[in-house]
Amino acid sequence: MKFRILVNLFFVVAVLASCGNNNKGQLVGVEGKQWFSERPYGMVKVEGGSFTMGKSDYDIAGLKNAPIKTVTVTSFYMDETEITNAEYREFVYNVRDSVVRQKLAEEADLAGGGNNANTNQGGGNNGRSIQDFAFKPEAGAQKGGLFGGGNNNNQNQNQQTPFQEFSRHYDPMDRTLNWDVDIIWKPSQYPDENYVYVMDEFYLDNEDSYNGERMLDVKKFVYSYKTVDLEKAARSNKKLSTQIVEKNVPVYPDTTVWIKDFNYSYNEPMHNNYFYHTAFDNYPVVGVSWVQSKAFANWRTQHLNKYNKEADKSRSPAFRLPSEAEWEYAARGGLESATFPWGGPYTKDDRACYLANFKPLRGDYAADEALYTVEADAYRPNGYGLYNMSGNVAEWVNTSYDPAAYEYMSSMNPNVNNKENNRKVIRGGSWKDVSYYMRVSTRDYEYADSARSYIGLRMVQDYLGNGITRNQNTRN
pLDDT digits (tens, 9 = 90+) for 107-132: 999 987 555 444 444 444 455 899 99
pLDDT at 121 (0 to 100) = 44
pLDDT digits (tens, 9 = 90+) for 18-43: 555 678 888 888 887 777 889 999 99
pLDDT at 136 (0 to 100) = 86
pLDDT digits (tens, 9 = 90+) for 393-435: 999 999 999 999 999 999 999 999 998 999 999 999 999 999 9
Cα 192 to Cα 441: distance, rounded to the nearest angstrom: 59
pLDDT digits (tens, 9 = 90+) for 351-397: 889 999 999 988 888 888 899 999 999 999 999 999 999 999 999 99
End-to-end Cα separation, the chain, in angstroms: 70
Cα 80 to Cα 282: distance, rounded to the nearest angstrom: 13
Residue type, 260: K
Report residue 4's pLDDT band, with 50, 70 and 90 as the boundaries: low
Distances (CA, A) of 353 to 22, 361, 368, 379, 386: 68, 14, 8, 10, 19
Question: pTM for the complete prediction?
Answer: 0.85
With beta carbons less than 8 A apart as the criterion, state whether 109 and 91 touch.
no
In degrees and rounded to multiples of 5, residue 77 shows phi and psi of -95, 145
Where exactly are the structural domains of the chain?
A: 43-82+284-462, 87-138+164-255
The length of the chain in residues reads 476
Average predicted confidence (pLDDT) for the chain: 85
Average pLDDT for 336-340: 92
Percent of the chain with pLDDT over 90: 64
Which CATH number is correct for 43-82+284-462, 3.90.1580.10, 3.40.50.12780, 3.40.50.150, 3.40.50.300?
A: 3.90.1580.10
Residue type, 275: F
Which residues lie closer than 8 Å to 356 by C-beta, 6 or more apart? 340, 347, 368, 379, 388, 390, 391, 392, 438
| Top mean-pLDDT range of 85-99, 331-345, 457-471 | 85-99
Average pLDDT for 138-155: 42
pLDDT at 155 (0 to 100) = 44
Report residue 164's pLDDT band, with 50, 70 and 90 as the boundaries: very low
pLDDT at 9 (0 to 100) = 52
325 closest CA partner among 387, 382, 398:
398
| Partner residues linked to 147 by β-bridges | none
State the Cα angle at 258 between 257 and 262, rounded to 5°.
100
Q: How many CB atoms lie within 10 A of CB 228?
A: 13
